[in-house]
Structure 1
Amino acid sequence: MASPAPLALYIHWPFCVAKCPYCDFNSHVRDTVDQEAWRAALLADLAHEAALLPGRTLGSIFFGGGTPSLMPPQTVAALIDAATGYWAVADDIEITMEANPNSAEAARFAQVASAGVNRLSLGLQALDDHALRFLGRAHGVDEGLKALAAAQACVPRVSLDLIYARPGQSEADWERELARALSFGTDHLSLYQLTIEPGTRFETDVRRGTLVPADADHAATLFELTQAMTLAARRPAYEVSNHAAPGQESRHNFAYWRYADYAGVGPGAHGRRDGMATVRHRKPENWLAALDRNGHGLAEERVLPASEQAAEALMMGLRLAEGVDLAALSQRTELDRSALVDEQAIAKLAGHGLLKQTSERLRVTPAGMLLLDAILADIVVAG
C-alpha cells in the first residue's frame, strides 16, 4: 500500500482588530486577549489531535484566521515546536502565516520567520486607497507595499491577495492594478472576485440597495483578463483563484484540493482525519470552555460515508487545473465510476468545451471555471 500523503496542519487564530464588511470567516473582535491562556489552549488542542494521528509525516502548517499575524511570535514558535515534535517533518515543509500589511504586524515578520514560518500570505486586497477604505481595510497602499517589502526580505516565499470585480471597477482599472501586482515579483497570487457572503455587512448593504455588485458578465470579463495576464506573466491559474509560478503552488492548500488528511485546531477549524470530518467549536469562548471540559475543542466528529468522501474529493479536486484522477478516486472509495459522475453530463459539457477528459483524468477547462458551480451540480453523482 502506498504511503499516505503528508499531513497538513491548520491552526486558527480567531481575532481581528476589526471585522471587514466582506468577510464571513470565523473572526472576532475582542478588547483583550489573554495570550498565555490562548497559547496553552492551542497547544492542548494540538496535542489532542496529534495523539489521534500518530506516525504521520507533516508536510505543511498553515496559520489562518482571523488575523494570525496578531499572534505573539512566541506562541507561533511554541506551536511549530510542538507540531514538529509530534510528527516526522518533510524536508520541504511549508509553514505559512496569513498576515495583514499593517506596520505593527510587519514589524513581527522577522520574528515569526525565526520561529519557522517560511511563507507569508499577505492580504493587500487592493492597490487603491479608495478601494481599501471601501473594503474596510486598516492599511493604505503605501503601508501595504512597505509590508510586502518587509515580507520579501524575511521569508523565501510570499503570496499576495487581491479582491477584484469591485463595484465601479472597470476592465482598464483592473488591468492596471493586476499589472502592478505582477511586477512585485511574488511567485504566488490569490485573486478573488468580490463575493457577497451571507451574514456580512455587504450583504446588508445589497439588501438595502446601498451597494450594487458587479454584474455577472462584467465579472466574467475580468476573470478572463485575469487568466490571460497571469498566464503571460508565468503565474498561471492552478486553481480557480490561485496563480503561481511552477513549483510555487501552496502545498498546504493542495492538501485540501487533493483531499489529503489535514488536522484543524483552534476555534471553528475543520479537519479530515482518516475518513472522519472534525469541527471545532466556532465561538472563541465556547472553544475555550470545551477545552476546559474535555481537553479538546471538538464540537463534532463524524465518519463520512464513501459517497460523501467521493463528492467532497470531486468538489475540491475539480477546482484544480490538474483535475481529478477518477480511477484513483474509484479505487480509494471502492465506488464504481458510475457512482461518482454522470457520464452523459460529462460528454455534453465536454462537447461545449467546458470539460476535458484524458484517460482517467477529468478536468474543467479555463472556460468551464467560469461555470464551475453549475458544472459540479451537473456531473457529480456521489454525495
Structure 2
Amino acid sequence: MSAHPAPLSLNASLTGALALYIHWPFCVSKCPYCDFNSHVRESIDADAWQAALLADMAHEAALTPGRKLGSIFFGGGTPSLMPPRIAASLIAAAERHWGFAPDIEITLEANPSSVEAARFADLAAAGVNRVSLGLQALDDAALRFLGRAHDVREGLAALDTAQHVFDRVTFDLIYARPDQSEADWQAELSRALSFGTDHLSLYQLTIEPGTRFESMVRRSEFTPADPDHGATLYELTQAMTEAAGMPAYEISNHARPGQESRHNLTYWRYGDYAGIGPGAHGRRGGCATQRHRKPENWMAAVDRNGHGLKSEDSLSPQDLATEALLMGLRLREGVDLDHIAASSGMAREALVDGEAIARLSALGFVQAEGPHLRVLPAGMLLLDAILPQVVAL
C-alpha cells in the first residue's frame, strides 16, 4: 500500500462506483458485548424476507442510476444464517440493477458453527468471494465468557473450510479481555497470524451501553481490563502485525498490501454506499439514509411504502466535512484536506485547528505535510482524544 493513496471522492459522480450494504438482523443468541442491530426470533418467513429485501434494494437502485457496484457487504446479525438462495437472489438482483465492477468484492459475515460452515460452498456459488469469520477468541474459556456458541475446535474447522472455499478470508478477535495477560495475547495473536489469512480485525473489548456486559460490570460481576494494560496490548498488536507483514491500515484492521477491505474503505474514505435491511445506514449524493431498526417495523414499512426508509436527510457542507475527517483520520493513510474542502464546499482553513495540529505534531501524534494530514501510530492509541482537538468544525 502506498504511503498516501488517493482518497475516494466525497460526492462521487453519478458514474462513480457504489457500495451496497445488506443487513440480516437475526442471530441464534445475543452476545453479551454486542450493541449491533441483532435480534433473536424463533422463526422467520424466508420468502417474505427475500421479497422485502429485494424491494428495498430496488428502491435504492432507482435513486442511483448509472452507478456500478464496487462491493457488497452482508452484515448483521448473522448473515450466514440466511438461506444461501436468498443471498444468491440478492446478488443477482444487485447485478441487474447496477452492474458490477470487474473485481467486485462480495463479503459475508459468518459465525463459525458447523451448521453455517456447511453452507459456505452454496454461498460461494451464489457469488460471495470474501468471508469475515467471527472467531473472536482462540480460547474456550474466553469464548464461553463472550457468549459464543462455538468452541475453538469448531471455529478452526470453519476457518479451514472457509479458506478452501472462498478467495479471501478474514476473521475477528477480541482482546483486552478481563485477566488476559500480555503473554496470553501474544500467544493467541501469534497463533492467529500463523493461519495464513491476509486480513485480520482485532478489537479491544469495549463495554457498550445497553449490553449485558454493561449490566454485569455495574453489578461487579467482572472488571474490565485497565486502560493502561489495554494500551500495552494495543502496542503489542501493532508490533506483531507489522512484523508479520499485516500492518494496521485502519485503527483495528490489519492486512497485507492489496488485501484491505474495499467495502470498509468506502466508508472510511467517505464514498457513497446504499444500505438496505433493518437499521441499515446509507450515504448517497450528499444525503444520509436510515432504515427502520426493528425487523417488524422495517417489514411493515416495506409493505406500506415499497422501501424500509425511516429518514432521508440532506447533509450540510459542515456535516460532510466533519464526517469525512472523523472517518478518514482512522486510516493509516490519513486525509487530503484540499480534497475534503473541494468536495464539501468548506474552506480548508475551517476544517482543522492548526494550533492543535502543531502541538500534536510536536508530540509525535499527527503528521501534516501540505494538505495531507494523518494520525501517526502513537496517536492512534489516543484517537478518541485527538479527534475533538483536530477537527475544528
Query: Is residue 279 of structure 1 aligned with residue 290 of structure 2?
Result: yes
- The equivalent position to 2:307 in structure 1, one of 285, 289, 296, is 296
Cα displacement (A) at 1:339: 1.5
Query: Is residue 332 of structure 1 aligned with residue 332 of structure 2?
Result: no
Mapping of residues 1-383 of structure 1, within 5 Å = 5-382=16-393
Matched letter for residue 262 of structure 2: R
Deviations 1:229-253 (A, max 9, x none): 0000000000000000000000000
Matched letter for residue 315 of structure 1: L
Cα displacement (A) at 1:75: 0.1
CA distance in 2 between partners of 1:227 and 1:246 (Å): 15
Matched letter for residue 221 of structure 1: T
CA distance in 1 between partners of 2:216 and 2:368 (Å): 42
CA distance in 1 between partners of 2:182 and 2:358 (Å): 34
Q: Secondary structure at the match of 1:300?
A: strand
CA distance in 2 between partners of 1:89 and 1:147 (Å): 29
Q: Is the 8 A contact 1:240 1:319 kept in 2?
A: yes
Q: Is the 8 A contact 1:26 1:282 kept in 2?
A: yes
CA distance in 2 between partners of 1:135 and 1:334 (Å): 45
Matched letter for residue 15 of structure 1: F
Matched letter for residue 25 of structure 1: F
CA distance in 1 between partners of 2:365 and 2:127 (Å): 42
CA distance in 1 between partners of 2:372 and 2:97 (Å): 36
The TM-score with structure 1 as length reference comes to: 0.99
Matched letter for residue 51 of structure 1: A
Cα displacement (A) at 1:5: 4.3
Deviations 1:180-209 (A, max 9, x none): 000000000000000000000000011111
Deviations 1:128-185 (A, max 9, x none): 0000000000000000000000000101100010000000000000000000000000
Give the RMSD, CA atoms, in angstroms. Answer: 1.0
Matched letter for residue 10 of structure 1: Y
Cα displacement (A) at 1:88: 2.4
Cα displacement (A) at 1:211: 1.7
CA distance in 2 between partners of 1:5 and 1:366 (Å): 32
Matched letter for residue 94 of structure 2: A
The TM-score with structure 2 as length reference comes to: 0.96
CA distance in 2 between partners of 1:110 and 1:209 (Å): 44
Cα displacement (A) at 1:362: 0.3
Matched letter for residue 222 of structure 1: L
Deviations 1:225-280 (A, max 9, x none): 00000000000000000000000000000000000000000000000010000000
> Which structure's relative contact order is higher, taking Cα pairs within 8 Å and 6+ residues apart?
2
Matched letter for residue 204 of structure 1: S
CA distance in 2 between partners of 1:294 and 1:36 (Å): 19
Matched letter for residue 337 of structure 1: R
Q: Is the 8 A contact 1:160 1:189 kept in 2?
A: yes
Q: Is the 8 A contact 1:24 1:197 kept in 2?
A: yes
Gaps of 5+ in 2: 1-8
Q: Is the 8 A contact 1:5 1:260 kept in 2?
A: no
Matched letter for residue 114 of structure 2: S
Gaps of 5+ in 1: none
CA distance in 1 between partners of 2:388 and 2:371 (Å): 20
Q: Which moved more, 1:80-89 or 1:129-138?
A: 80-89
CA distance in 1 between partners of 2:52 and 2:269 (Å): 30
Q: Secondary structure at the match of 2:30?
A: coil
Q: Secondary structure at the match of 1:179?
A: helix
Cα displacement (A) at 1:57: 1.4
Matched letter for residue 61 of structure 1: I
Q: Is the 8 A contact 1:191 1:242 kept in 2?
A: yes
CA distance in 2 between partners of 1:5 and 1:157 (Å): 25
Deviations 1:32-65 (A, max 9, x none): 0100000000000000011000000110000000
Matched letter for residue 69 of structure 1: S
Matched letter for residue 267 of structure 1: P
Cα displacement (A) at 1:359: 2.2
Q: Which moved more, 1:204-213 or 1:235-244?
A: 204-213
Partner residue of 2:4? none
